[in-house]
Every structure is written in structure tokens, then in C-alpha cells.
Structure 1
Amino acid sequence: MEKKVRIYTTPTCHYCQQAKEFLKEKGVEFESFDVAADKEAFQEMKRISGGARSVPVIAIADKVIVGFEREDIEKALKSLE
């Protein structure tokens, strides 16, 4: 089954690590993509985010969040319930 939450990150991004920890604390399963190493993931991230080049980009169902915005993430997670 495909995970409904995807997070696009880089290894040196502090906010990316915070976002992953936040999702883990919420008990959310997610798939993580390192856009520094995976060019296809980078292109996908840009496509779904309207061209964003900064990370993290978090896709929750059909909602895309650029940056680590707790309130936006929590609202989007409610749509999965």
C-alpha cells in the first residue's frame, strides 16, 4: 500500500529533521525522499509544489506544504482520518 504522506528533504536540513520527528511523534507513517541524491524525487518535489526548491516539502494526500509548518501539517493530517 502506498503511504499517503511523503516528505522531500536533504541530509543537512534541520527543519527536515524536525518535520520527520514531528510526524513520528504523531504516529504517522511516511516515505522520505532525499532530493540532494535523487534527481527524480527533486523533479517530483518541484512539480507538486509549484516549483519550490526549498525543503522540506511535505505531501499529505493531495495537500502540499512547503516548510515545516506544524499547524498546516496537523490540519492536513486530519484529512487522512
Structure 2
Amino acid sequence: MSNITIYTQPDCPPCEIAKLFLNEYGFTYELKDIKKDNKARNELINKYQSYSTPTFVINGETVITGFEIEKLKEALNIE
């Protein structure tokens, strides 16, 4: 199973859809709220060069910015 981290923030409709999508396929994931967690926000910007939510980090290497369903399906081997 994949190790998934989602950088999110309150009132982010794509973030909510992304969580529903992952739940539908039975994936577990770690949420990092960039509004409440300064370390997570800095990590998102400095380590992953992203200013957008949701941003997904899969297995510590694949980074997907935004709810890109086809990219997620490919990275998570969903047919």
C-alpha cells in the first residue's frame, strides 16, 4: 500500500473531493493542514515547491499538485 500525505487547508473543495476519492478506494493517508501547521506549510513550499492545495506526496517521491485524478490513478495503480 502507498504512503500518502495530503497537504490541505480548510474550505478547500478540491481537498475534500480528494479525500473522498482516496476513501472510496480504501487508501489511508496523512493530512497536513497548512493553515494550522507552520512546519507543514514551510515543507510544502520549500521542499515540494508548491503553493497549492491539495498537494499529494506519494511514497516520499511522487508529488502531485492539485486534484489531478488521472495522475493520482496512475501513481496509485488504480485502473
Structure 2 length-normalised TM? 0.88
**CA distance, structure 2, for counterparts of residue 48 and residue 17 of structure 1:** 23
Structure 1 unaligned blocks of 5 or more: none
Conserved 8 A contact 1:48-1:64 = no
The 1-side partners of 2:65 and 2:13 are apart by 14
Question: Normalised by the size of structure 1, how large is the TM-score?
Answer: 0.86
Matched, 1:59 2:57: yes
Q: RMSD value over aligned CA atoms?
A: 1.2
Percent same amino acid at aligned positions? 37
Aligned length: 75
Which structure 2 residue ranges, 5 or more long, are not aligned? none
> 1:74, 1:47 → 2: CA distance?
26
